[in-house]
Structure 1
Amino acid sequence: MRSRVLCGAAAAVALLATGCGSSAKSGDAAAPTAGANAPAGAAYPVKVTDCAGAETTFGSAPKKIVTSNASSLEMLLWLGAGDRVIGTGFPPGAGTMPARFADQAAKVPVLGQMVISKEKLLGSGADLYVDTFASVGSMGGSMGTAPTEQEFAAAGIRHVYLHSTACAAMMKGPQQDLSQVEADIRSLGAITGTSAKADELVAGMEQKVGAVRKALAGVAAGQEPSYFFFDYDAGTKQPMAECGKQVANAVITLAGARNIFGDCDGDFKAVSWEDVVARNPDWIQLGVRNQGGDAANQKAFDAAAQFLKTFPATKGLKAVQEGHFVRIGSEVTTIAGVRDADTVQRIAHTIHPDLVKS
């Protein structure tokens, strides 16, 4: 069996590549507010909140941004603010960024292969730190300690969070749509003065997801196929569940499936193979990280499928017996971002091919 990495590779992927606004249907993030007399497209001051509701105010657009990982980096690239990013932690792996951003992302200085050290972050010269993590302490002692808000302020760094990931565990209910992800995009757009682009990106996401939901209108509530995200890179000794508050739950739900662990509280949770067998999913997504190329990706998918076909506890599962494997990687499923809407389409087409066309 494969040994466990961190608290689960999907959790790690959410860090590697895993705001407020919109109509927050799946949580409690408040919309960023802007001054009424500010010029169109760059309306300041802008106020955003952290997970506890504390406000941060921006009187102008940040000029030097550090991102905690590739998730927030990718959002800024989509918004056209990538030229202001002066460093990142958890840099994107080969093949994980959209092709259009790969070269630009590769040029961003890496301040830490994992969490950026406190000293390096405070000394980075940044005026904004975009944080995808709820707290460094929850990731284990080897990650080090995060700066306090007082230390951020003393260094001249404003500290903001992606609510869809950093605040996920604090939400009152599960994420069942992409409103929190869209809120993060709009929040970063407001902060960086790229609100028009943010609105364009969100509109595109809503159009894609809306088309899927329309196509699936005839699927009766409660009759959706059951679905298990198999976090193969986490190790096979003990499976890691994507719970209801994880972004993946929203993606799976919108695609017309029922996450078999959507009822567990929080975002990630270690479960047992007995739990998986008891829920006997109709479909299993082979959650592997992008390996940097099509051939390598297919090899990783094949390895995950082969484990399920030969492991005594899983070889009798309905999905395994019927070959109902979804070959879509971890990053575009578990990480908050623009491409979540594309993943909704891809999953929906795989499990509902007669209803949702590619």
Structure 2
Amino acid sequence: MRSRVLCGLAASVALLATGCGSGADSGDAGRAAPAPTATTTGFPVRVTDCAGAETAFDSAPKRIVTSNASGLEMLLRLGAGGTVIGTGFPPGKGALPAELAEQAARVPVLGAMVIPKEKLLGSGADLYVDTFADMGGMGGAMGAAPTAQEYAAAGIKHVYLRSTACAAQLKGPQQDLSEVEADIRRLGQVTGTSARAEDLVATMERQVGAVRTAVAGIAAEQRPGYFFFDFDAGTKQPIAVCGRQVANAVITLAGARNVFDDCEGDFKPVPWEEVVARNPAWIQLGVRNRGSEEETRKAFEEAERFLREFPATRGLEAVQAGHFLRIGSEATTIAGVRNADTVRQIAATVHPDLVKDGR
């Protein structure tokens, strides 16, 4: 069996590795618009972290560092890419549409994975956009994350993508993309690109709305069970996406039922016996971009081969029927406009009679 790798999920800091890329088709929401110019209207802006602590902005930041490719991609789509001076977990080759990839390639990489504390504090940034609330789970050589006092001393304001950073603290499951859309709007306010943020959200809502309408007649008990198999997290013990994770919203909106929607938090290690007991009708092969189409294809094939050959899973309904979805992990589990594209892709596969050609 495969051992857990750094690019895989872990219960506390799962999906830090957005930089491993995604092979999912970007669809309508993936089309970049001409970069708008940040404005000074709408300030001051105040945003809060997961604990409710407030950060105020009197003007748009000029030097932004992102923790990984998800925040970077969001800023590029907002037209604020020219202010990004560094990133951790950079997007893998082929992870972004060409028009975004060219811009992303010009952003200095401050860390192939987590940005070292000293490099982040000495980067000259005035804003750090963090996809996750706690880097401490990486431990060891990754070192400790800066404290609030250290950020302040370096002149760096620190904000989060709340749909992922605060997911485990939500009062209930994520069943729509409102938290993701709020992240886009919030980052648009902070960077003075609110008009572009509204355009992105409107596009997402149109895509998701069409799917929602198409699958509206499916009763809850008739929705097929769906399991997100994070192959990159290792196969000895699978990591389930729980109700509070973004993926739960994506799966629900697509007219399927996350078989682990009842587990607490956002991610949870589960035994294979539990997966077997829930017997999903569909399985998404959670694979991250390997840097080339060929290597990514091989990874998908390896994930499928494991499920077909592993004694505990080869009898599952999904495996017997060959109901596998090859959709990149990042566009399913990390906040971004491509979540809407993934909703459409899943729905078109699971309900091809209702959602034609992915639309």
1:241 counterpart SS class: strand
Contact 1:10 1:330 in 2 (8 A): no
- Corresponding residue for residue 350 of structure 1: 349
Taking the aligned partners of 2:299 and 2:6, their CA distance within structure 1 comes to 19
- Corresponding residue for residue 330 of structure 1: 329
2:149 counterpart SS class: helix
- Corresponding residue for residue 292 of structure 1: 291
Unaligned segments of structure 2, at least 5 residues: 20-37
- Corresponding residue for residue 15 of structure 2: 14
Contact 1:173 1:245 in 2 (8 A): yes
> Measured at CA, do residues 260 and 80 of structure 1 come closer, stay the same or move farther in structure 2, by a change above 3 Å?
same
Aligned residues: 338
- Corresponding residue for residue 100 of structure 1: 99
1:153 CA drift (Å): 1.1
Taking the aligned partners of 1:308 and 1:173, their CA distance within structure 2 comes to 31
- Corresponding residue for residue 158 of structure 1: 157
Which amino acid is 1:290 matched to? N
1:7 CA drift (Å): 8.6
1:246 CA drift (Å): 1.1
Which amino acid is 1:302 matched to? E
1:10 CA drift (Å): 7.6
Contact 1:10 1:231 in 2 (8 A): no
- Corresponding residue for residue 280 of structure 2: 281
1:119-166 CA distances to partner (integer Å, 9 max, x unpaired)?
111111001000111111133333211111111111111111110011
- Corresponding residue for residue 122 of structure 1: 121
1:162-198 CA distances to partner (integer Å, 9 max, x unpaired)?
1001111111111111000000000000000000000
The TM-score with structure 1 as length reference comes to 0.91
Taking the aligned partners of 2:6 and 2:144, their CA distance within structure 1 comes to 17
Contact 1:255 1:345 in 2 (8 A): yes
1:4 aligns with 2:1: no
- Residue correspondence of structure 1 range 1-358 to structure 2 within 5 A: 1-6=1-6, 8-9=8-9, 14-17=15-18, 42-358=41-357
Q: Percent identity?
A: 73
Which amino acid is 1:15 matched to? L
Taking the aligned partners of 1:332 and 1:356, their CA distance within structure 2 comes to 19
1:91 counterpart SS class: coil
Contact 2:7 2:232 in 1 (8 A): no
Unaligned segments of structure 1, at least 5 residues: 19-38
Taking the aligned partners of 1:43 and 1:165, their CA distance within structure 2 comes to 25
Give the stretch that moved more between structures: 136-145 or 64-73. Answer: 136-145
Contact 2:47 2:55 in 1 (8 A): yes
2:322 counterpart SS class: coil
2:119 counterpart SS class: helix
